[in-house]
Amino acid sequence: MIKFGTDGWRDLIADQFTFENVRKAARAYALHILQAGGKRVVVGHDTRFMADRFARVAAETLSASGLEVHLSGTHLPTPVLSFAVKHLHAQGGVMISASHNPPEYCGFKLKGFYGGSATPEMVQNVESHLGDLPPAFDSNLHPIQTFDVQEAYYKHLSTLLDLDILRGFAGTFYHDSMGGSGGGWVSGFLKFAGLEHIALQEIHAAPDPMFYGVNPEPLPQNLAHTMGILKGQTGLAFAAVTDGDADRIGAVTAGGDFFNSHQIFAVLLKHLYDRGLRGKVVQTVSVSRLIAVLAEKLGLEVTTTPIGFKYITEEMLQGDVLIGGEESGGIGIKGHLPERDGILNALLMLEAVAHSGKSLSELFADLEAFTGVRHAYDRIDLKLPSLQVKDQLMQKLNTPQPIAGREVHNIDLRDGIKWFLSDGTWIMFRASGTEPVLRVYAEAASPEEVQTLLQAGLNHLGV
């Protein structure tokens, strides 16, 4: 069964993610595009096993369905594929990528004509066509073109970044692309913009379908090597980390500490505000409460959505969004696409540090002082034997009970189950839309409180 989750369809390679099912998904998407009067689509892929072959099959099916197809000549980041949709005036795009999922997964991401994640309504329409059989492909009748938008993408980034500020960076900058498709794109931009004097060191830049032995998600358990490199660093040094298809962002600070997505979101929000930009702040339900407090203190409207960047995309399409972000590291910026972009966000972090002359840790400490919010956060991903077990565990949470000695004061059922406790503390339970995984999130004023909450959550689930 092909099932689209928070960001496309993902499945195990050679199990459900097969050439036959990719053809079915591509045919369904082609019918959606044709139904809307579209004629042109772009197709790209990341560095996963067989991703280039799956992309070719998707392109052939789209072409045989009557669409003009442009296929990337090599692997590329998802945000660059999204940029290509806009740049080539296409009506949609397909990205073969499972993002941050383990190496044995591949995926099929859908992009709208605006260069961002397909909206829930668009996904529903595509799903309605999944029963239609794909037509046969004949290369003589259905030629496929290749594209390369790297230079155009870099030119666009140059309009969003302050190159004079970047020239003043005086630290060491690392980019860990985790063996994914972001490798070489940050260094490529610095060269394009004449910023080669910046001391950049690349980590895991060579493509690796096994992602150097970890899941390509910028979380502490996957970043031991990079954290070890930064452990001996001081001053303004930091590492920006992009996930498997470079649409998500994480960081490691001088001293080797992980700098999470909530912290990055806060630093970029304040930096954009200091540059004179204004607009609404959009956050998913699992984001730190510090974001809402910071936005309110800056006089900015805040909107909260379910989890999945497609919901942020919907808000961005309505206009006047300064920044939108999610707990998993996806952040979209005003003036860019209605899309998360790890490459741009890595460079914006560099700009924030260069502009302030302060490290990421110092910038976030300033924000804690400004908002009065102490932030500590962690998440546990419970890997379960089946989707059925996942559903059974979620049913245990329907009736809230005191947890870790605290009463539940409020509940948010927007996506999963979020319990609000005293002093801004919260714990949240949510089943993954793409894997047999149940995630438990918690935020409190100290790391010790967070771990106590998470353990209490596991006890409540009986695991």
For 12-56, the pLDDT digits (tens) are 999 999 999 999 999 999 999 999 999 999 999 999 999 999 999
Q: Where are the alpha helices (DSSP H) in 335-430?
A: 342-356, 360-371, 387-395
Please give the structure tokens belonging to residue 372. Answer: 């009065």
Is 70 exceeded by the pLDDT of residue 387? no
In the chain, the domains with their CATH numbers are 4-148 (3.40.120.10), 152-371 (3.40.120.10), 376-461 (3.30.310.50)
- Average pLDDT of 53-81? 97
Please give the structure tokens belonging to residue 337. Answer: 């696409």
Residues 6+ apart with CB under 8 A from 406: 421, 422, 425
Whole-number percent of the chain with pLDDT over 70: 98
> CA distances (Å), 137 to each of 24, 108, 109, 225, in order?
13, 20, 22, 45
Q: Which has the closest alpha carbon to 263: 252, 273, 274, 272?
A: 252
Residue 201 — φ and ψ, nearest 5°? -125, 125
Please give the structure tokens belonging to residue 355. Answer: 């502009």
| Residues 227/214, Cβ–Cβ less than 8 Å | no
Is 90 exceeded by the pLDDT of residue 432? no
* β partners of residue 321: 280
> CA distances (Å), 125 to each of 11, 120, 399, in order?
20, 9, 35
Is the backbone of residue 246 left (phi > 0), alpha (psi -120 to 50) or beta?
Answer: left
Predicted TM-score of the model (pTM): 0.94
The rounded distance, in Å, linking the Cα atoms of 100 and 91 is: 26
Residue 139 identity? S
Judged by DSSP in three states, 405 sits in coil
pLDDT at 388: 63
The rounded distance, in Å, linking the Cα atoms of 329 and 79 is: 14
For 75-127, the pLDDT digits (tens) are 999 999 999 999 999 999 999 999 999 999 999 999 999 999 999 899 999 99
| Residues 205/184, Cβ–Cβ less than 8 Å | yes
- Average pLDDT of 182-186? 98
DSSP per position, 428-446: EEEE-SSSSEEEEEEEESS
The rounded distance, in Å, linking the Cα atoms of 348 and 227 is: 21
Q: Which has the closest alpha carbon to 77: 190, 153, 166, 5?
A: 153
Judged by DSSP in three states, 331 sits in strand
The rounded distance, in Å, linking the Cα atoms of 56 and 47 is: 14
